[in-house]
Structure 1
Amino acid sequence: MYRKRLRQNFGLPEEPCGDCCVHFFCEPCALCQEHAELKSRGFDPSKGWIGAPTAAPQVPSSMIK
């Protein structure tokens, strides 16, 4: 589920086999790949999906006219 979400968000190909096959036959490898992909894009994987930016940053009220 998360591997598919990663691929969709970042436009990654589903190669050399499907996401389910990758996790079924070599889950540690799949998790390492996902962790490395997130780190290379500036995310902190230790926070999980909670740490992913999901909305625009808030503008401080002192900056609003």
Structure 2
Amino acid sequence: MTDRVLAVVQPAAADVIADELLAYCRERLAPYKCPRAVDFVLSLPRDPSGTLRKGLLQETYWRNHETRIV
């Protein structure tokens, strides 16, 4: 299996388009840092203070894999 950079986005507006977001990233980031795909979610896991819970987010994508990259 090959690892890839993935953007997980909770859009503030309904008109966000993945292709536009990827083009924006390509203009501003090094190629190896650009996401290959975008997942849109209704809400991101956050603690009561509003901090993103990255571990819970990663767990949803690594659930059925033998190895993990953290």
* TM-score w.r.t. length of structure 1: 0.28
* TM-score w.r.t. length of structure 2: 0.27
Rg (Cα) greater in structure? 1
Give the strand-richer structure, 1 or 2: 2
Q: Which fold has the larger relative contact order, with Cα–Cα distance below 8 Å and residues 6 or more apart in sequence?
A: 2
